[in-house]
Amino acid sequence: MAELNTTQKMGSNRTKKLSTTVDLTAMVDLAFLLITFFMLTTTLSKPVAMSLSMPVGKVESKVKASNTLTLCLGANNRVVWYTGTNEEPTDLSVTGFNKNEIRLVLMNRLKEILDQTGENLMVLIKPSDKSQYKDLVDVLDELNITNVPSYAIVDISKEDIDRLKRSGIY
């Protein structure tokens, strides 16, 4: 509330300036009410999760070895990838998880398979003991970004561990 001081001394010829004070209590109350209102009515961002369907029990699938791409996750955010069967990989390479590495491999291999056979690419993901959970999530994100329709998370074999050791990422 605003107050106005109207008292003057008697006997003085000069007019005295009047002092005004503003009571800000109501304004502070209003500010806290508004802050409380907006805090309670604001919607916080909800976490976004990718859906992952895992089969129950053992499932066998008939996929040509030429249509598969195997990703063996190693240490230090590195991955060994190859096409073909586990016994005879046709091209063994080491790459990382950024968009210029594993994403290009996935896009190029998916395009090759679609152009040659018209079938889908099957990606086998084999995390090792030395890989991190973040690596698996990164690979699943890249598969989602590149629209790879079929993938599976499988146990890593002894041969794949030997490949990781030879590549220096186990």
- Which residue, among 43, 42, 40, has the nearest Cα to 32 in the 3D structure? 40
Q: 131: Cβ–Cβ under 8 A, 6 or more apart, which residues?
A: 73, 74, 75
Q: What is the pLDDT of residues 58-115, one digit of tens each?
A: 767 777 777 888 888 988 888 888 887 676 666 778 888 777 888 888 888 888 888 8
The confidence score (pLDDT) of residue 13 equals 65
> What is the spatial distance between Cα 21 and Cα 5, in angstroms, rounded to a whole number?
9
Instruction: State the CB neighbour count (10 A cutoff) for residue 137.
Output: 12
The token duo for 90 is: 């046709």
Residue pair 110/146 in contact by the 8 Å Cβ criterion: yes
CATH 3.30.420.40 at 65-167, yes or no? yes
Domain locations in the chain?
65-167
